[in-house]
Structure 1
Amino acid sequence: MSGIIAMADASSVLMLTDGAGTNGVGHLQWIGSKVLLMPEWPGVVAVRGPSQFLWALRTHWGVEVPSFDVALARVVEDGQIVEEMHRLHRYPLTEWEIVLAGWSEERQAFEVWDVYGGPIPDFEDHPPLTLRKMVGAMGAWPAPDQDKVEALGLHLKPDKPRPVVETAGLIMLAMRASQQPDPRDPSRGHHTIGGFMQETIVTHEGMSTRIIHRWPDRIGEPINPHGGVNS
């Protein structure tokens, strides 16, 4: 799975993503980008779960999704189509989540929305296959453990605000330190955030993306944020 953080204001959207692809037992299988840039909107799409979702979505959309608002109108149905493609190709069925961030012409605002599906229990406040708008200034998927957030000093006084990228980066570190439950055995957990930290910024004038941090995680080994080569 992946880590995604999004922050939106009146003039831009910031998204941070990691670059780790892990298997069912938490071993790192590959390292790569998990974002799809859509400068024509302008906007960005990120995915948690099967990385093929991004490229299958882009291929399926073709030139028929010229705006962020059109993408929002289609993404739930298109996510189900891509899930069915995975099933037909006999890929392992797993949880997936799509986060879309960009400029809405209809509402004249930068927005962030997400939708999820796959074999995962329903969240009480967000049923599967339904779009949910990020209502605060920031969203994190998955949410990090609160003790990991506090350990990094993110509970400090609000009268000493941090730069936006620094705040998002610290939250990503808290996500990396948190464990995600094994879908086959919820009593077990794995670290799933690693590889690198990628920053993507979307504004009216354009968009940019860069790698702002790399972790020394090794292919074939578990992600270990607490020590050794994977610290």
Structure 2
Amino acid sequence: MSAIYSLAFQDRIVILSDGAVYDADGVVCELASKVWVAGHAPFAVTGNGNWDLQQCHAEAIVHLASVDTAIDYLEIQLSIAKRRRLDATALANGAGILVAGYSQTKGFRQVYAPFHNLDPRFEPLELVEVEEFSATPMISDAGAAAFERILADLESMGAEFFSDRGADLFEVLRQERTSQPGAAGYQHLVGGHVDLTMVYMEGVATKRLRQWPDTIGQKIRPKQAAPQ
């Protein structure tokens, strides 16, 4: 599972992402960027679910010519997956891929391809165009209230909100303990760092907002955050 939150504005798409990859017991096995950036065109790729499948798709997509050809790739891969008639077990071990970019013909585009059955908001194997996207751990009532209090500043601050308060949003998620598919018990599942990726007409910029002292080989153990 990844913590991803993205939102499209008139002049950019912003993506917040964490950086911890962990096993079924919640033990960190890798600290990595979860956003892949195309070096030659204004688009980026991220995802949630199976980490190996995320990497496989993303590393293929970022070499494509544009966000439009990236979306074409996803449509083809979803069609192949449908023809394979994946069962529930295969879908439960799948990944979701989000592509965000600027198209010369269609403007800013953000699409999500769920190669899994883990999110009831999305039909498995059906491409969907989105303005806002989130893939986060389950959150408690208290966590949801703290999240909403921070998010209340978004309307007045616009896209700049993410630079100023994006890390605070993910600090709330980091405090939550949640389960993951196929694993017993509840773990903290947001860690490593918080990255902000900004997709503009001209290109993509990434900024690290916060670094956490998580360690490979150990579980995520956040310090208690101050009330928001």
TM-score between the two structures when normalised by the length of structure 2: 0.77
Q: Tell me how far 1:195 sits from its aligned partner.
A: 0.5
**Quick check: 1:35–1:54 contact (8 Å CA) kept in 2?**
no
* Alignment-derived partner of residue 72 in structure 1: 71
Q: CA RMSD in A?
A: 3.2
Unmatched runs of 5 consecutive residues or more in structure 2:
82-91
* Alignment-derived partner of residue 50 in structure 1: 50
* Alignment-derived partner of residue 209 in structure 1: 206
* Alignment-derived partner of residue 86 in structure 1: none
Normalized per residue, which structure has more helix? 2
Task: Specify the code of the residue in structure 1 equivalent to 2:3.
Answer: G
Q: Tell me how far 1:34 sits from its aligned partner.
A: 1.3
* Alignment-derived partner of residue 148 in structure 1: 143
Aligned length: 213
**Quick check: 2:51–2:95 contact (8 Å CA) kept in 1?**
no
Task: Specify the code of the residue in structure 2 equivalent to 1:151.
Answer: A
Q: Residue 150 of structure 2 aligns to a residue in which SS? A: coil
**Quick check: 1:6–1:140 contact (8 Å CA) kept in 2?**
yes
Q: Residue 10 of structure 1 aligns to a residue in which SS? A: coil
* Alignment-derived partner of residue 101 in structure 1: 100
* Alignment-derived partner of residue 84 in structure 2: none
Task: Specify the code of the residue in structure 2 equivalent to 1:42.
Answer: P
* Alignment-derived partner of residue 126 in structure 1: 122
Task: Specify the code of the residue in structure 2 equivalent to 1:198.
Answer: D
* Alignment-derived partner of residue 178 in structure 1: 176
Task: Specify the code of the residue in structure 2 equivalent to 1:149.
Answer: A
Q: Residue 114 of structure 1 aligns to a residue in which SS? A: strand
Q: Residue 154 of structure 1 aligns to a residue in which SS? A: helix
TM-score between the two structures when normalised by the length of structure 1: 0.76
Sequence identity percentage? 22
Task: Specify the code of the residue in structure 2 equivalent to 1:184.
Answer: G
Q: Which moved more, 1:218-227 or 1:160-169?
A: 160-169
Distance 1:68 1:94 in 2: 26
Distance 2:108 2:194 in 1: 22
* Alignment-derived partner of residue 89 in structure 1: none
Task: Specify the code of the residue in structure 1 equivalent to 2:18.
Answer: D
Distance 1:102 1:161 in 2: 22
